[in-house]
Chain A
Amino acid sequence: MKILVPVKRVIDYNVKPRVKADGSGVDLANVKMSMNPFDEIAVEEAIRIREAGKAEEIVVVSVGPTKAQETLRTALAMGADRAILVQVEDDVDVEPLAVAKILKAIAEQENPGIVMLGKQSISDDSNQTGQMLAALMGRPQGTFANTVEVDGDSVTVKREIDGGLETVKLSLPAIVTTDLRLNEPRYASLPNIMKAKQKPLENKTPADYGVDIAPRLKTLKVAEPPVRSAGIKVADVDELVAKIKALGIA
C-alpha cells in the first residue's frame, strides 16, 4: 500500500504571528517557517504504518512556494520516500478547495491506500482540506484521528470528538486526518537528513493537474486580537456568584 501525505509550510508554531501594518494579512517577512505540526504527525503516523509492514511507500506532497521544498526535505528526512512539490508563486495563498482538487488529481495518479492529512494547518485553521478531498474523491473519511489501525483492506480510526472517542472503520482507500494526540513525531537524524537529499523530489504546477487556484474568498481585513485587559479579584465565592449573576451569565 502507498500512503500520500500532504504537508504545508507554515509559520513556526513558536513564533508569535504579527499582522501587517496595512491589515492585509500576517507578516511573513523574516519569520521562521516550519512544517505544519499536524502534518508532522501525519508523516510520523505514515512512517509507523510502513515500519509495521503495512505500507510500502510514503509520498509527500506540498502545494506551496519554492521554499516548501525545505518542508518536503524535512518529511523525507523523517522517512518519507519521495516528494512532489506543486509550486505556486511566493505570495500566493492556495485555498483549501484548490488544494483538495490538486490532491485528488495526484491521488488519481498515485492510487494511495490512505491519504493522511493534518486535521488543520495552524496558518489559517480552516480544517477543511481533508473533508473536501474525501467528498471530491467519494471516499470514506476518518477525521481527528487519535489512533489509526490498518487491517487488510480497511482502516480503523478512533476519532477525537467532544466528550470522548468515536471508532469508525473505513474501507480503503480512505482519507484520515490527524489530531494532536495521535503520536509524537520523531526528530530527523543527521544521517537521514543527508540521505533525504538524494531522494526524488518532483516539481509540478497546479496547471499540470488542470486545477485553477484563483481565490474564491476575499480577505477584507486581518486584525490582531484585542489585548486582554486585566481581570479583577473577588474576595469570596459569594461575591463571584453575585458578579456572574449581575452579568447575566448564570
Chain B
Amino acid sequence: MAESGMDPEIFDQFLDQLQRYVRERLIPAEKEVIEHDRIPAAILDEMRNMGLFGLSIPVEYGGAGLNMQQYARVIHVMGYAAPAYRSIFSINIGMFSSALKNGGTEAQKAEWWPRVAAGEIACFGLTEPGSGSDSAGLQTTAKPDPSGNGWILNGTKRYITNAPSAKVALIMARTNKDNLPKNTHVSAFIVPMDAPGVSTGTPDKKMGQSGAHIADIMLDDVHLPGEALLGGETGKGFRFAMMSLDNGRISVGAMAAGLARRALDSAIRYANERKAFGEPIANFQLIQQMLAESEMEIYAAECMMDDVTARADRGENVLRKAAAFKVFASEMCGRVVDRVVQVYGGAGYLAEYDAERFYRDARIFRIYEGTTQILLLQIAKHMLREWKEEQR
C-alpha cells in the first residue's frame, strides 16, 4: 500500500516554516545548548507546539501522518542545526512510533501514540553492556509473572538515547533463555519509565552532540501488565525492532546529509573570508577540490534519500537500500566534516570555530543504528542470498 502522507501543499508550508525556525531560532541558540548541555525549555515547548514530536504518527492519533519521504525531509532540514534538536524527538517519531505501527495492538496505539505525539519523550532500548552489534545476544529477561498474566523484567540497557528524560521505553527482552531461529527469543515491551524497578544511570559523557543524552536503564524486577507486550505476542520483538531500524537508518542518513550540508556551507563562507598569499583561499584549486567533492557526495546522499524513501512509501522492502543509504551518508558526512576542518586550517582545530564541533558531532553516525561494518555485512548477505535464489 502506498503511503500518501500529508497533503503536499501543507507539507511544503510546514517545511518552509521549519527551515525558518532552524535558521532564526535553533542555530542562534546552539551556543546555549552546548554550554549548558541541554536544549532550553522554551525551545522544547516551541518544538512540542510546532508538532515535531508527532510528525509520523497518524492524524487520528494526534500526529501529522507524514510518510517516509516527508519524514526524511524534515530530519534533513533539522540536520542543519545541532544534532541535539533532532535527538530529542527522533525516537518518538522514529523507532518508537514505527514499532507501534509495525506491531502494536489497537489498544497500545490508542494509549501511546497520542501521548508521544503530544511530546512525552520516548526511548528505545536494544543495546546492552554485553551486546551491541550482536543485538540478538541480549541478556535482559522477561519472565511470566506467576501471579497473573503479566511480565517481570530484569536486565540493563546501555547507551539509550533520551533515557534521562523519557516517559516511556520500548525494551527488547528475551522471553526464551536459548537463542531461537529468526531471533524469536526476543520480545518487545512498552515500559513506563516511572514503573517501580526502573532506574536510569548518570548520563554518559560523549565525544559530541552536546545537549543530547544517553544513559543506562536498569530494570530490577519490573512488573508489567500483560498489555505491555508489544503486539500481544512473544517472539516478534526482534522483527519489530528490525523493521523500525529501517526507519532509524533513514533518519540517521538524512541527518548526516543535513549536517554535511551545514558544514560545507560554513566552509564556503570561511574560504571566501580567509585570505592567504594575498587572496581568499577559495581561489585555490586544492580548496575548490575539497568543496566540489563534498558537494558531489552530499548530492548523491540526498538523491539516495529521496529514492529510498519513495520506495518505502510505495511499499517496497527497503532493508538493503536503507542500510546502503545510512552507510553512504554517514561515511560521506565523515569525509565532508574532515575536509571542512582542513579548509579552516588551524582554526579548524579550535573550539572557537564550528568546524571541530561538526567533526565530533558527525562521528556517531557511522556507529549507531548499525555500524558501517554490520550494515555492509547485511547488504552483502542479502545480495548473495538473492543471487543464490536466482540460480535455482
> Residues of A at under 8 Å CB distance from B?
14, 34, 70, 73-74, 77, 187-191, 193-194, 197
Contact = CB atoms under 8 A, between A and B. Distances in A.
Given A189-B51, A191-B51, A194-B64, 20 more contacts: A73-B13, A77-B13, A77-B17, A187-B17, A187-B20, A187-B46, A188-B14, A188-B17, A189-B50, A190-B50, A190-B51, A190-B52, A190-B55, A190-B64, A193-B10, A193-B14, A193-B17, A194-B6, A197-B9, A197-B10
Contacts of A34: 16
A15 to B, nearest CB: 13
A191 B50 CA distance: 7
A74 B51 contact: no
Interface in B19-43: 20-21, 23, 25
Interface residues of B toward A: which range? 20 to 34
Contacts of A74: 13
A74 B9 CA distance: 11
Contacts, number: 38
A71 to B, nearest CB: 10
A197 B64 CA distance: 14
A14 B17 CA distance: 14
B389 interface: no
Contacts of B25: 187
A9 to B, nearest CB: 13
Contacts of B6: 194
Contacts of A189: 49-51
Contact of A193 (B13, B21, B46, B55): B13
Interface of B: 6-7, 9-10, 13-14, 16-17, 20-21, 23, 25, 46, 49-52, 55, 59, 64
A140 B46 CA distance: 37
12 contacts: A70-B13, A74-B13, A187-B17, A187-B21, A187-B46, A188-B14, A189-B49, A189-B50, A191-B64, A193-B14, A194-B6, A197-B10
Q: Which one of A73, A189, A190 has the greatest number of beta carbons of chain B within 10 Å? A: A190
Contacts of A70: 13
A64 to B, nearest CB: 17
Nearest to A73: B13
Nearest to A188: B17
B328 to A, nearest CB: 29
A190 B51 CA distance: 5
Q: Which 7 A-B pairs have the closest CB atoms?
A: A190-B51, A189-B50, A187-B21, A190-B64, A189-B49, A188-B17, A187-B17
A194 B10 contact: yes
Contacts of B14: 188, 190, 193
A187 to B, nearest CB: 5
Contacts of B7: 197
A77 B11 CA distance: 12
A99 to B, nearest CB: 24
Contacts of A188: 13-14, 17
A77 B16 CA distance: 12
Contacts of B10: 193-194, 197
Contacts of A193: 10, 13-14, 17
Contacts of A73: 13
Nearest to B65: A194
Contacts of B59: 194
Contacts of A190: 14, 50-52, 55, 64
B59 to A, nearest CB: 8
Contacts of B13: 70, 73-74, 77, 188, 193
A173 to B, nearest CB: 32
A181 B52 CA distance: 28
Nearest to A77: B13
B282 to A, nearest CB: 18
